[in-house]
Amino acid sequence: MMTHNIFRSALIPPPAIPEQYAQRYREEGLWIDQTLPEFFVEQCQRHAESLAVVGHSHTSWEEKTPPTIRWTYAELSQHGWDIASRLRAGGVRPGDRVLLQLPNIAEYMSALLGIFYAGALPVFCMPSHRERELSHFARKTDAAAHIFSSRVPGMDLSAVYSSYSQMLRDEGRIPPLGYDVCHPWELEEQEHLQELTTVMNTSAQRKSEQVAFLQLSGGTTGVSKLIPRTHADYLYSVRESAKICQLRSDSTFLVVLPASHNFTMSSAGILGAMYVGATIVFAADPSPQTAFSLIAQENVKVAALVPPLVQAWIASAQRRTPDLSSLELLQVGGAKLSRSVAQNIKPVLGATLQQVFGMAEGLVNYTRAEDSDELRYNTQGKPISAFDEILIVDDHDNPVPVGVSGHLLTRGPYTIRGYYDEPAINEKSFTEDGFYRSGDIVKLHPDGSLEVTGRAKDQINRNGEKIAVDEIEDLALSHPKIYDAIALGIPDKTVGERVCLVVVPYPGEHFEANAREELQHFFTEQGLASYKIPERVEVMRSLPTTKVGKISRKDVRAQLLETLSYS
Ligand code: OOB
């Protein structure tokens, strides 16, 4: 095994929450003095004998067999320590960043605990990320290691790792070490880590208020920005979420969406389940077939889905009448749920709907158990905390009356005050007094519930995965034949929105009938995650412009929707 003797740069301090707020959050008991690794150790001790994780391993998850791993909390912790020891033996040091990119397999959990136990900070990558995204995260965080599995069907992540590592080397950088869970780094017997205290950075005053990990933003500008969340802020949101969702020790939670997503991780999600000592069941794929058999076999009580998946589950359940009798709560979030689908959840799936409107930057809203059906179907709920501050404003930042739609700005005990190492973007994404500009258009209902009525950001929401249009456009413009390009989200029944790219070739350049294949090949070659690759390509001779000569996205969209309705 390669061991590294490289010192990685220190984490850049994120924009801090002003002390007067921090003090308030401490005094009110929102921020407590506990770190995530301490939380894991404590929960694994407290629930040592309970079943913690059910899932496939990296060797078995492609097969349509029942899950092969069943770990108690004590065993999970042991596996976490094992990974931590291996990471440390390989040269990962406390404070280092580690890219975590695993599919929904049981080892996701041991890797997660392992990174924290080693005193390092996970960077939550998606399984679908490829060279372009991974190299960006590695550069931005000076990551020491990248945990992945080389056995992901249809995706050669060893090759992806090698090729972006070479890219980084060519730039004079030292790439992260690759940690393939199929070939774990070796370990000498005496190297076993035993105690957290030996790996924590003890010099800091309040460890719990330091950055714990980096989440990815949905992104409205370029490649995802990194979101620095602290131990104290995140754990506060987890404890409150578990209470709001009324989780109990028998609230077995099914992980369907990627584990790294903030929704799955903490709303109340994986960490909420750990907070109450419940079992976390990993579905190897999001299909209704896989999920339905796990629900019946494992007595699943809670699942979290994006709206397009809910529709797939409903359609499948109507055909097959599966045994979903254990399912109590179906959380739906990540994109707008239509009322008609919302109303079908209870009658068809038997579970109570909870709408979840959240963002990795912080603020999460839930409909509550006691809410009327009217609120449950029509709104996306109320904020977690009485300390969440919500502003709904017009285009000039003036508050709008209750019931009128406006831009949602927010600030609070678990919402960041700035992205990681992005001073220019932070100026635009946050107000001077620290409110985050979510880019969502919402209206307030008289009871305090929020309803999402639109979106003011240039983003495509495909299956709850967010795509910044300018990332796709910038990449398209690097194509030698493309003079101009616009990326748009086209409404779609199965995934919510699909990426459509409208391109204008240079004079004299042509795309043949297969423009789509040609460009899909180009984007794949550029190492772009597959979910961002345009599924529809339209070639136009020119783009409609506004009176002042700017390209009018609205008109392009209108033209396109018109052509689509005829095709
Ligand atoms: C969740 O987090 P992100 O960071 O992937 O995306 C946040 C954005 C929101 O700003 C909003 O535009 C959209 O996703 N969104 C919703 C929604 N939930 C999220 N739009 C309408 N209705 C909803 N229920 O997506 C996320 C994070 C934590 C919990 C749940 C979702």
CA angle 467/217/561 to nearest 5° reads 20
Asked if residue 518 belongs to a domain, the reply is yes
CB 534 within 8 A of CB 500: yes
396-446: pLDDT as tens digits: 999 999 999 999 999 999 999 999 999 999 999 999 999 999 999 999 999
Asked which of 185, 218, 237 is the last residue of a domain, the reply is 185
Q: How far apart are CA 409 and CA 431, in angstroms?
A: 9
In a domain, 349, yes or no: no
- What pLDDT does 504 receive? 94
Q: What is the whole-number distance in angstroms between the Cα of residue 436 and the centre of ligand 1?
A: 14
Residue 217 CA: nearest ligand 1 atom is: 4
**Ligand 1 pocket, 429 CB below 6 A?**
no
Kindly state if the Cβ of 379 falls inside 6 Å of ligand 1: no
Question: Is 120 domain-assigned?
Answer: yes
Residue 543, in any domain of the structure: yes
Q: Give the CATH number of the domain where residue 83 resides.
A: 3.40.50.980
Could you tell me if residue 298 is inside a domain? Answer: no
Pocket test for ligand 1, best of 227, 260, 330, 466 (most atoms within 8 A of CB): 466
Ligand 1 pocket mutation pick from 266, 332, 359 by most atoms within 8 angstroms of CB: 359
193 lines ligand 1 (CB under 6 A): no
CA of 454 to the centre of ligand 1 (A): 12
**CB-CB contact of 207 with 39 (8 Å):** no
Tokens 């714990």, located at residue = 212
355 lines ligand 1 (CB under 6 A): yes
> From the CB of residue 413, how many other CB atoms can be counted at a distance below 10 Å?
25
Q: What is the pLDDT of residue 152?
A: 87
Residue 359 CA to ligand 1 centre (angstroms)? 5
Write down the pLDDT at residue 204.
54
In 217-317 the beta strands, taken as DSSP E runs, fall at 226-230, 253-255, 280-282, 302-305
Strands of 145-148's sheet, edge to edge?
177-180, 145-148, 97-101, 121-124, 211-216, 226-230
Is residue 381 in contact with ligand 1, taking CB distance under 6 Å? Answer: no
Cα end-to-end distance, the chain, whole Å? 56
Ligand 1 centroid from CA 334, angstroms: 4
Q: Which helix (H) or strand (E) segment is 486 a member of?
A: strand 482-492
Q: Rounded CA gap, 197 and 207, in Å? A: 11
Q: Which residues pair with 357 in a beta bridge?
A: 365
How many CB atoms are closer than 10 A to CB 94?
14
Give yes or no for residue 466 CB within 6 A of ligand 1: yes
Q: Which CATH number goes with the domain that contains 494?
A: 3.30.300.30
Distance 204 CA to ligand 1 centre (A): 33
Choosing from 157, 185, 213, the residue where a domain stops is 185
Residue 313 Cα, ligand 1 centroid: separation in angstroms? Answer: 20
- Position 522 in a domain: yes
| Residue 79 lies inside a defined structural domain of this protein | yes
Write out the chain's pLDDT in tens, 567 residues.
556 678 999 999 999 899 999 999 999 999 999 999 999 999 999 999 999 999 999 888 777 788 889 999 999 999 999 999 999 999 999 999 999 999 999 999 999 999 999 999 999 999 999 999 999 999 999 999 999 999 988 889 999 999 999 999 999 999 999 999 999 999 877 677 766 754 444 455 689 999 999 999 976 667 789 999 999 999 999 999 999 999 999 999 999 999 999 999 999 999 999 999 999 999 999 999 999 999 999 999 999 999 999 999 999 999 998 999 999 999 999 999 999 999 999 999 999 999 999 999 999 999 999 999 999 999 999 999 999 999 999 999 999 999 999 999 999 999 999 999 999 999 999 999 999 999 999 999 999 999 999 999 989 999 999 999 999 999 999 999 999 999 999 999 889 999 999 999 999 999 878 999 999 999 999 999 999 999 999 999 888 887 777 778 888 888 887 877 655
Alpha carbon separation from 516 to 486, 536, 537 (Å, rounded): 14, 6, 5
Q: How many residues belong to the chain? A: 567
Whether the upstream peptide bond of residue 268 has omega within 30° of 0, thus cis, is yes
> What pLDDT does residue 513 have?
83
CA distances to 276, 316, 528 from 46, rounded to whole Å, are 10, 39, 43
What is the whole-number distance in angstroms between the Cα of residue 339 and the centre of ligand 1? 17
As a whole number of angstroms, the distance between CA 443 and CA 147 comes to 41
pLDDT of residue 64: 72
Tell whether ligand 1 has an atom less than 6 A from the beta carbon of residue 267: yes
Residue 201: predicted pLDDT: 47
Kindly state the tokens that stand for 424.
Answer: 């220019």
Sign of torsion, CA 125 130 132 134? positive
Count: domains in the chain: 2
Buried b (16+ CB within 10 A) or exposed e, 128-152: bbbbbbbbbbbebbbbbbbbbbbbb
- Residue 392 within any structural domain of the chain: no
Q: Is 452 in the pocket of ligand 1 (CB under 6 A)?
A: yes
Domain boundary among 166, 185, 204: 185
487: domain range? 459-564
